[in-house]
Amino acid sequence: MSILDSKIPEGPLADKWTKHKNDINLVNPANKRLIDVIIVGTGLAGGSAAATLAELGYNVKAFCFQDSPRRAHSIAAQGGINAAKNYQGDGDSTYRLFYDTVKGGDYRSREANVYRLAEVSTNIIDQCVAQGVPFAREYGGLLDNRSFGGVLVSRTFYAKGQTGQQLLLGAYAAMNRQIGRGKIKMYTRHEMLDVVVVDGKARGIIARDLVTGEIERHSAHAVVLGTGGYGNAFYLSTYAMGSNVTAAWKAHKRGAFFANPCYTQIHPTCIPVSGDHQSKLTLMSESLRNDGRIWVPKHKKDVEAIRNGSLKPTDLAEEDRDYYLERRYPAFGNLVPRDVASRAAKERCDAGYGVNQTGEAVYLDFASAIERYGKEQAYVKGLNVEDKALITKLGKEVVENKYGNLFQMYEKIVDQNPYETPMMIYPAVHYTMGGLWVDYNLMTTVPGLYAIGEANFSDHGANRLGASALMQGLADGYFVLPYTIGDYLAHDIRTGEIPTDSKEFDAAEEKVRAEIDKLVNNQGTKSVDYFHKKLGKIMWNKCGMARNEKELKEAISEIAALREEFYKDVFVPGEENEYNEELAKAGRVADFLELGELFAKDALERNESAGGHFREEYQTESGEALRVKDYQYVSAWEYKGQPSEAVHHKEPLEYENIEVKERSYK
Amino acid sequence: MMNLTLKIWRQKNANEKGKIVDYPVSGISPDMSFLEMLDVLNQELIEKGKEPVAFDHDCREGICGTCSLYINGRAHGPATKITACQLHMRSFKDGDTIYIEPWRAKAFPVVKDLIVDRSSFDRIQQAGGFISVNTSGNTQDANAIPIEKEHADKAFDAATCIGCGACVASCKNSSAMLFVSAKVSQFALLPQGQVEATDRVMNMVKQMDEEGFGNCTNTGACEVECPKGISLENIARMNREYLTASLKG
């Protein structure tokens, strides 16, 4: 029997959430005023949770490392948000969204959580529209939808290529309303450096004011982490520069189990790396795969000619192109899930068909979409459909209307016009499905400590479908946590304010100060970035899109050695009592150096391929991920001092409402 | 590869005086972003045991609005409709001298070097930049009220403001009118925003004035430098909203 109790309610799948909401404890409005909640992170999950808990009447203290909650990295999400509204009448339903998500996650997510997610998805859209989020609309004035990878319906709501921005600004506005009312106390440019556990319960945090360097104590009756994912362990990723694992990792060190750390999403359509100076990677929205066709040349001689500039991709004949996703996956074509699309790109590039100098790029081509849309417009407007120049012009207008800002972004970075020549893309680290283990109530293994959004693990299994991150972040923050946290806080109505002068706060602050002192006084010879880049290379080469036993073992020892070197030789300029970005970075990289090892250990333990976790030893004859029934569980790691000593716990996954089978997109 | 001379504003903290300091950098690739060029400088400074230049940045893809560099006298540098993080070194040539300063405005005090405090923007939003609906999810169906596509699209265009502050930095009066009007316009164009229209514009403008932003004299510099192309039309719309609200009293 596992020591992990997922607390999934009894009863039929479709009734679990409703029943649970009816069964759990409530806190009366007068008592909510006596209860404090700390929320760390103000992205979609943290921001929506802060606004909602404050509206309910709790006293919320919210923390973000950015200079404003509006800048959390949810803002960069481009393509859209899923909801089972079935406005298109194309057969969508709560069950289908649930089914697609579990299948897309390669049967490694928790059924009950995913069903709940699908269930509340429709509320999100209603809620956001009421808040004034300007989703894209059709000429009739109703909401428009588009399609994303891994599904056969159009259920994605969007606001051009800035859906994350619009949703985050919606949550930010909801927060602002509560900040104005004094119900949220906002701490910007603050970084959480420890969780304080008193009598076995999370009762506060230690935070550092990034401007003054001051170490602060903050107490509350519960602590919520909405601190995002840990993809920056790879150094190069589509994450923001400041995105980090520190809050989640400190929680892990205080007893929160870390689940499935090896489940990472490598997004197929990112702008390829251009050189050693590269500091981050830029995503091109998956929505582009609605209209863009992915290909490489069929013949090596053409690859050579393209690389040396003697052949333009637009001059290569149709029959000499390999639209490899359409070839391998005729049913889903270019809209296969992200893990499948990424691996297929890697397979072609490894085979020598990459189209740029580094050999790590494939084409994403809009020529046929431009022609198709152009013809459509010509028919609609009664113009000459034989006029090629006119068709191209009309088609480009449609494409610009749909993806204009993405095309502009691409052109600014690469200095090529994607209306005229196909985009070059390559996979990049984008999201982490793993995270803090939580039960059905989103509580970690530390009572009173919650994890929401990307920071937890529960909904996406081994691979996340496009437009589902925004859905999960807002579902957790607006509609799930506000109910489930009440069940816990109902026991705290007589507790009174949590004092910050206890021995637990003393000890936690002392530990934080010691860690900072150590970094500032180290006087080594190498910068923080030096170590971060080295870690990133190990992660990408040995824990990336394809993994094997030998390299994972190497990664484990190399990361451990790098960590040792870091503490011997890192140099952090400046002082601790001032704005010091290098110091903040040093703390974050120190945590990545621990997490990275656990990541590799987890990947090594999982002797199967599932979703984004692809072990070369476990693949089908056609090169697809080969799941192994024995690994149908969640790995949850308990901290024991060093990553190598982490203790492995299993939460078995049971599928009562879905038949587990080989994921096929053919 | 390019060699450049950087003239960068250094200021230890809000209380101390700052000054321009010269830094030569070499081996800069035209494919680097402007911030990656600053990364190169900072790595060199750290290797020499010196303090790196502090500048604000986060997403590095032009959407978070964190970066805020005044480059050669222009907010976000010489190119239009992009942020400093999207600016690439191919916009410069070998031997160039580049001035890099923070936003200059009374309402944006310098925190350190090139970093300013833009919390005044947050306070303006807190004064009224929202629609007062509870986040219960029990609102009416999202398709209950059709919204004319043209209005929805214009509301979206206004809502794409990233709150970077380039408008303020570019304005000779340090006016925040473009920023405030973008939010006022977003809601003014949508039926959901009508209920609180009067209070919203009055409260946001009041807060804007209290923060110490200057007045608008219609020079249009803000629109030119806005990385998201927020239109001056929004200022006109806010003025109408303000007038209507004032008449309602």
User: Per the CB < 8 Å rule, is B54 touching A581?
Assistant: yes
pLDDT surpasses 80 at A214? yes
pLDDT at B60: 96
In this predicted model, what pLDDT tens digit does every residue of A455-483 receive, in sequence order? 999 999 999 999 999 999 999 999 999 99
Q: Does domain B2-101 have CATH number 3.10.20.30?
A: yes
Question: Any chain A CB within 8 A of the CB of B25?
Answer: no
User: Per the CB < 8 Å rule, is B126 touching A174?
Assistant: no
CB pairs under 8 A between A and B: 214
What's the whole-number average pLDDT of chain A? 96
**Nearest-Cα residue of chain A relative to residue B28:** A277
**Nearest-Cα residue of chain A relative to residue B194:** A132
**Nearest-Cα residue of chain B relative to residue A164:** B63
Q: Which one of B39, B66, B133 has the shortest CB-CB distance to A130?
A: B133
| Residue numbers of B between 162 and 221 with CB closer than 8 Å to A | 162-163, 186-187, 190, 192-193
pLDDT surpasses 70 at A387? yes
Query: Is the alpha carbon torsion for A400, A405, A409, A412 positive or negative?
Result: positive
| Shortest distance, CA B127 to any CA of chain A (angstroms) | 6
In this predicted model, what pLDDT tens digit does every residue of A593-652 receive, in sequence order? 999 999 999 999 999 999 999 999 999 998 889 999 999 999 999 999 999 999 999 999
pLDDT surpasses 90 at A198? yes
User: Per the CB < 8 Å rule, is B137 touching A120?
Assistant: yes
Percent of chain A at pLDDT above 70?
A: 100
pLDDT at A571: 97
Please give the CATH topology (third level) of the domain spanning A501-632. Answer: Methane Monooxygenase Hydroxylase; Chain G, domain 1 (1.20.58)
d(CA A300, CA B146): 53
pLDDT surpasses 70 at A373? yes
What's the whole-number average pLDDT of chain B? 96
pLDDT at A79: 83
pLDDT classification of A662: cutoffs 50, 70, 90: confident
List phi, psi (to 5°) of B243: -65, -45
**Nearest-Cα residue of chain B relative to residue A176:** B126
pLDDT at A9: 97
Residues of chain A found within 8 Å of residue B83, distances taken between Cβ atoms: none
pLDDT surpasses 70 at A1? no
Residues 6+ apart with CB under 8 A from A557: none
In this predicted model, what pLDDT tens digit does every residue of B81-140 receive, in sequence order? 999 999 999 999 999 999 999 999 999 999 999 999 999 999 999 999 999 999 888 889
User: Per the CB < 8 Å rule, is A275 touching B32?
Assistant: yes
pLDDT classification of A360: cutoffs 50, 70, 90: very high
| Active-site choice (A70, A116, A293, A338) | A338
SS3 label, residue A471: helix
User: If you count DSSP H runs as helices and E runs as strands, how many of each does chain B have, helices first?
Assistant: 8, 7
| Shortest distance, CA B221 to any CA of chain A (angstroms) | 22
DSSP collapsed to 3 states, A268-328: EEECCCCCCCCCCCCECCHHHHHCCEEEEECCHHHHHHHHCCCCCHHHCCHHHEECHHHHH
Which residue ranges of chain B lie beneath pLDDT 50? none
User: Per the CB < 8 Å rule, is B88 touching A141?
Assistant: no
Residues of chain B found within 8 Å of residue A71, distances taken between Cβ atoms: 58-59, 64-66, 163
pLDDT classification of A97: cutoffs 50, 70, 90: very high
| Shortest distance, CA A478 to any CA of chain B (angstroms) | 6
In this predicted model, what pLDDT tens digit does every residue of A478-488 receive, in sequence order? 999 999 999 99
Mean pLDDT is lowest, of A370-379, A398-407, A534-543, for A398-407
In this predicted model, what pLDDT tens digit does every residue of A297-314 receive, in sequence order? 999 999 999 999 999 999
pLDDT classification of A161: cutoffs 50, 70, 90: confident
| Shortest distance, CA B46 to any CA of chain A (angstroms) | 7
A141-150, A175-184, A286-295 — most confident range = A175-184
Q: Which secondary-structure segment (H or E) carries A52? A: helix A44-56
In this predicted model, what pLDDT tens digit does every residue of A121-149 receive, in sequence order? 999 999 999 999 999 999 999 999 988 88
**Nearest-Cα residue of chain A relative to residue B63:** A76
CA B63 to chain centre: 10
CATH architecture of the domain with residue range A269-427: Alpha-Beta Complex (3.90)
User: Per the CB < 8 Å rule, is B111 touching A211?
Assistant: yes
Structure-token match 């609200």, residue found: B245
pLDDT surpasses 90 at A401? no
In this predicted model, what pLDDT tens digit does every residue of A552-605 receive, in sequence order? 999 999 999 999 999 999 999 999 999 999 999 999 999 999 999 999 999 999
CATH topology identical between B2-101 and B119-134+146-248? no
pLDDT at A402: 84
pLDDT at A64: 98
Question: Any chain A CB within 8 A of the CB of B81?
Answer: yes
List phi, psi (to 5°) of A638: -100, 135
pLDDT classification of A666: cutoffs 50, 70, 90: confident
A615 is catalytic: no
pLDDT surpasses 80 at A451? yes
Residues of chain B found within 8 Å of residue A69, distances taken between Cβ atoms: 122
- Domain range list for chain B: 2-101, 119-134+146-248
Q: Which one of B39, B142, B149 has the shortest CB-CB distance to A279?
A: B39
SS3 label, residue A203: strand
- Domain range list for chain A: 269-427, 501-632
Please give the CATH topology (third level) of the domain spanning B119-134+146-248. Answer: Fumarate Reductase Iron-sulfur Protein; Chain B, domain 2 (1.10.1060)
User: Per the CB < 8 Å rule, is B137 touching A478?
Assistant: yes
Question: pTM, whole model, 2 decimals?
Answer: 0.97
Work out the burial of residue B24: count CB atoms within 10 Å of its CB; fewer than 13 is exposed, 13-18 middle, 19 or more buried.
exposed
pLDDT surpasses 80 at A10? yes
Taking a C-beta distance cutoff of 8 angstroms, is the pair A259, A636 a contact? yes
| Shortest distance, CA A421 to any CA of chain B (angstroms) | 19
| Shortest distance, CA A71 to any CA of chain B (angstroms) | 5
User: Per the CB < 8 Å rule, is B149 touching A415?
Assistant: no
Q: Which one of A120, A412, A415 has the shortest CB-CB distance to B82?
A: A412
